[in-house]
Amino acid sequence: MSKTVHKLRPSDYWRIGEHESWFAEMAAKGLHLKKMGIHFAKFDKGELKKMRYRIDVSIKKKITSEQIKMYEESGWDYVTSYQFFHVFSSPEELNAPELHTDPAEQSYTLKELDKKLASNAIIVVVAMLFIIGLQYSIWFLDGTPTLVMVGGSAIQQIILAIFLGYYAYQSLLASVSIRALRRNLIEGKPIDHYAPWKKHYRLHSTIAFLFTIVVGLSAIIPFVQLIKMETKTLPEASTDLPIVRLADVEENPAMVRAEPSYVSDNVDWGNRYSYDWSPLAPVQYVTDEQGVVPGEMWEDKSGEYTPGIRTQVYQLNIPAIADNLITDLIERYRYEDSMEDYIETEHPDLDLLIVHEKQEKKEVFAVKGKAVMYVRYYGYADINVVIENVVEKINLISE
């Protein structure tokens, strides 16, 4: 019983001469072609033989029994088909005549394939342009590409875009290559049945390996995110989380937690913390906290005094993107406010500090080492109190 061996194909499917040369070299090593797949070829292990292989092209994926019989009578045995290519073999000592003795005549066998590949290339390029437009809207429409990237979901989109881009490149290359081959045949230049294949084999193997690793890792990312992400009601007592607490900013013992305004999955979303993970930011927290001071009113008499605070925290694997992340956070949350209203301020314990104050709203954007923190507070506490708490909490994840 023969042993089956699978090998990665040496190059792109339209490189006819390289495939013929590769099949012959494999046969000389005792590996005889059995079947071709998208990326791998299957061989039967047997005796070392000197074989010749020829590939015939047809727009039909199935070759007729009449054509197979006609080639058999000329000394060529049908082996297998892949895409629009049909492989025939013949022992070298038989010295069988070529399947096509006239290159110009052989060029006509590529005519329909030439048209089909050109059509496929156009479709793929148009689809790729659509994907690029979609990616652009996701990344740049709201002007926060770094924030999107740090979130993690964009990584799969990047890999998908790279994969589709490579596929579009391969489609164009296939169309151009088949057209060039057809032109050469029309000019009387026959296919080189002994074309060197090792260079493209190494390139193809390297690309296939890298794609396998990258796609495999990217496929893991969503599962890791699902496992790690969680949202819970924020405890009223102090925690060791790297977040700014409303009680620490208000410093008012009369303040109590506001009644839940929205509860889902047993989580009070007005007083919650969410944890997330991504390859660029393995530690991410988003928290919301709402309070109320009984008997105290807003200055405009609009109702009972209900201060609130929101904290977003990122610990980055690449600290160099911290400044860009701060810029994106400002862009995301400034709404109608001008960028000029966000003031960069020196602070001895922070690498970067930007503050924005508008009536009861105070915003602090801070960077230290690997840590980025954004705090938005509504209330009457002084903004310096918010900054002091940011400095204290950011130290927990800055290293």
Residue 375 confidence (pLDDT): 98
Segment 57-82 shows an average pLDDT of: 88
What spatial distance separates the first Cα and last Cα of the chain, rounded to whole Å? 62
Residue 394's nearest CA partner among 193, 223, 291, 241 is: 241
Residue 62 confidence (pLDDT): 79
Which amino acid, residue 57? V
Residue 2 confidence (pLDDT): 60
CA dihedral 15, 21, 23, 28 (to 10 degrees): -170
Residue 61 confidence (pLDDT): 66
Segment 29-52 shows an average pLDDT of: 92
Percentage of residues in the chain with pLDDT exceeding 90? 61
d(CA 233, CA 237): 12
CATH tag for 229-394 (out of 3.40.190, 3.40.1000, 1.10.1060, 1.20.120): 3.40.1000
Residue 240 confidence (pLDDT): 87
Residue 112 confidence (pLDDT): 87
Q: Work out the pLDDT band at 59, boundaries 50, 70, 90.
A: confident
Residue 125 confidence (pLDDT): 87
Q: Work out the pLDDT band at 84, boundaries 50, 70, 90.
A: confident
Angle at 300 between CA 298 and CA 304, to 5 degrees: 30
Which amino acid, residue 117? L
